[in-house]
Amino acid sequence: MVQVKSPYWQKVVDDAQKHPAVPGLEKIPFFTMAPMEAVTDSVFRRVVAKAGGPDVYFTEFTNARSITHPKAKFTVQGRLYVEESEKMPVAQLWGNRPEDFEAASYDLKERGYEALDLNMGCPAATVVKNGGGSDLIRHFEDAKNVIAAAKAAGLAVSVKTRLGFNQIDTFEEWIPFLLKQDIPLLTVHMRTRKEMSKVPAHYEYIDRLIALRDEIAPNTLLQINGDIKDREDGLELVRQHPGIDGIMIGRGIFENPFAFEITPREHTLDETLTLLRMQLDLYDQFTAKFGPMHFQKLKRFFKIYVRHFSYASDLRVALMDTTNTTQVRELLDQFDKQWAAQKASDTIAITTK
């Protein structure tokens, strides 16, 4: 088993071994929820925790400069907010100026964060244009300086990246370079920036990544990301590629809010809609604290809960016509009554007030 230099990540590894034994595995991998823009805020993290959460959560990615910039620092408060009942997440930052990461690391430490992840894989054009995310794959020296600066406050500094920018074989230089930066965790999304998420993840290179890690930095944890739908899917990937330490799930949570549960089971419609109602309540509390949010962003979550049952498409269509949480609740209440009274009928009329 890997002995990690970081006490934070060593505890994550040790705690994962407390889960029930897994057939075919001597070591149980840890599971994390990927940092996702406008998704993994405090509200959604708490909903996932209710459904059966991962070992580690990540925040939405935040521009390192904005954390301490006098004109922007107040706009990031919601991104970095952690409710008292939450498990402390890992903060993920993006950018390319070392001084921003140094200042941000001290700010995060004051907020109670113990770990900081550096985004070196985001494919978004606006991020790349500003020298952040996957653009750092093309600028090794900038990446090195950012990593060094982020360590200033003593947080556990990790990196999330991709195999390359345009070419897959870039990883033969890029990954060894990162492994030499003395980081406790390296997360690799198994695609290039050019590929976005348009092609299947390149699992055929996982064993090579493991070999590189074992040769260059045996005390660095290796986490794999890309096309992993749920815990069972992740465990099977580890069975096929012994040496993987962690599994990160991103878009899979949009197909199944219970993706991280240790013992999978069938869930009722009432359970999934209860999670939606919980998110509505937490959303209202969040906006009351940090100001109004674009309601359109909340709508992207509806498909997580409203699927795989009769009339789900009708309900989703109606939900997408709502403009506030009150309307959503009224619609759900109406659906509950009609579902109970007419679940054996051919149709359920759904209207938005």
Q: From the annotation, which residues make up the binding site for FMN?
A: 92, 160, 189, 250-251
Strands 56-63 and 221-225: unpaired
Distance (Å, whole) CA 273 – CA 302: 10
Distance (Å, whole) CA 202 – CA 192: 9
User: In terms of DSSP H, where are the helices of 196-301?
Assistant: 206-216, 231-240, 269-290, 295-299
Distance (Å, whole) CA 236 – CA 155: 32
Tokens found for residue 280: 């509505």
Q: Does residue 122 carry a catalytic annotation?
A: yes
Catalytic residue (choose from 47, 64, 122, 185): 122
* Cα 160 to the center of its chain, rounded Å: 11
Owner of token pair 């060094």: 148
Distance (Å, whole) CA 46 – CA 247: 20
Tokens found for residue 74: 């107040």
- Which residues have a catalytic role annotated? 122
